[in-house]
Amino acid sequence: MIRFNLNGQSVSIDADPDMPLLWALREDLELTGTKFGCGAALCGACTVHLDGKAIRSCSTPLSLVEGKHVTTIEAVSAERVGAAVQAAWVAHDVPQCGYCQSGQIMSAVALLAQKPKPTDADIDSAMSGNICRCGTYNQIRAAIKDAATTLSGGAR
């Protein structure tokens, strides 16, 4: 039995401790907002927060999650940074197919939580693990800067 806190609620699941968190979320807990893209920590589609840090859930075994806090896209708007990022994503109409966007948003929220005023280089290094095959990178960058402005109290 592995217990952890998921989006503010404690959950326990009976699964192979080697199984990646991604599949526990998607299949056992039926939270499908977190996506599968590569299964090898190469694309970022599966990004969630583990104790506030962005991690690739496809390559994080359940055993490492025991007793920790996991936040997924479904709950990210519950706190201030997440809400601002999501609003900026909507304002910039970022998504195309949308499949990568849960992961993009989770990476962006983790970045802004750590660096409220990221430079372009900060954005490059925090976001280059997240692939978007539809090519929305420039809109993602603009939305991150916009959210940073909102969060620092400036007008959008």
Partner 1 sequence: MPSVTSSVENSVTDASRRDFLKGSIAGALVIGISLSTGTRHALASAQSAAFTPNAFLRISEDNVITVISGTVEMGQGVLTAIPMLVAEELDADWSRIRFEQAPTAAVYNNPAFGMQATGGSTTVRAFWAPMRKAGATARHMLVAAAAQQWQVPVSSLTTANGFVVASDGRKASYGSLVALAAQQPVPTDPALKDPKDFKILGKALKRLDTPAKTNGSAKFGLDAPKLPGMVVAVMARAPLPGAKPRSVDSAKALAVKGVVQVLTIPNGIAVLATGYWAAKTGRDQLVIDWDMGEHAGLSSEKISELLEAKAQMAQTAGVVALETGDIANASGKNLEATYQAPYLAHATMEPLNCTAWLKPDSLELWTGTQGQGPLQNILSSITKVAPENIKINVFLLGGGFGRRIAPDFAIDATVLSMVSGKPVKLIFSREDDMAAGFYRPASVTRLSASLDAQGRPVKLNVGVGTPSIAVASGFIPLPPSGLDGQAMEGIADHPYDIPNQRIAYGRAEPGPQVWFWRSVGHSQNIFFMESFMDELAHAAGQDPYHYRHGLLGHQPRYKAVLEAAAEKAGWGKPLPKGVFRGIAVGQSFGSYVAEVAEVSVDAEGQPKVHRVVAAVDCGMTVNPEIIRRQIEGAIVYGLSAALYGRISYKDGRVEQGNFNDYPVLRMNAMPKVEVHILPSTEAPGGIGEPGLPPLAPALANAIYAATGKRVRQLPIDPNLLKKA
Taking a C-beta distance cutoff of 8 angstroms, is the pair 47, 130 a contact?
Answer: yes
Q: Which positions from 33 to 72 touch ligand FES by CB under 6 A, shown as an x/- string?
A: ---xxxx-xxxxxx---------x-x--------------
Binding segment for ligand FES (CB under 6 A), chosen from 11-19, 80-88, 93-101, 117-125, is 93-101
Q: Which positions from 100 to 139 touch partner 1 by CB under 8 A, shown as an x/- string?
A: xxx--x-----------------xxx-xxxxxxxxxxxxx
- Helix, strand and coil content of the chain, in percent to the nearest 5, comes to 45, 15, 40
In DSSP terms, 13 is beta-bridged to 2
CB of 135 to ligand FES, least distance (A): 8
Q: Given candidates 29, 99, 114, 145, which one binds ligand FES under the rule CB under 6 A? A: 99
How many of the chain's residues bind ligand FES (CB under 6 A)? Answer: 23
- Of 37-56, binders to partner 1 (CB under 8 A) are 37-40, 42-43, 45
CA distance 51 to 48: 10
The residue type of 119 is T
CA distance 24 to 16: 10
> For the chain, where are the alpha helices, taking DSSP H only?
21-23, 80-91, 101-114, 120-127, 137-151
Binds 73, which of partner 1, ligand FES, none (CB < 5 to 8 A, cut-off by type)?
A: partner 1
Q: Given candidates 70, 132, 148, 151, which one binds ligand FES under the rule CB under 6 A? A: 132
Nearest residue to 129 via CA among 55, 25, 31, 49: 55
The residue type of 98 is G
Positions in the binding site for partner 1 (CB under 8 A): 16, 19-20, 23, 26-28, 30-40, 42-43, 45, 72-74, 77, 86, 89-90, 93-102, 105, 123-125, 127-141
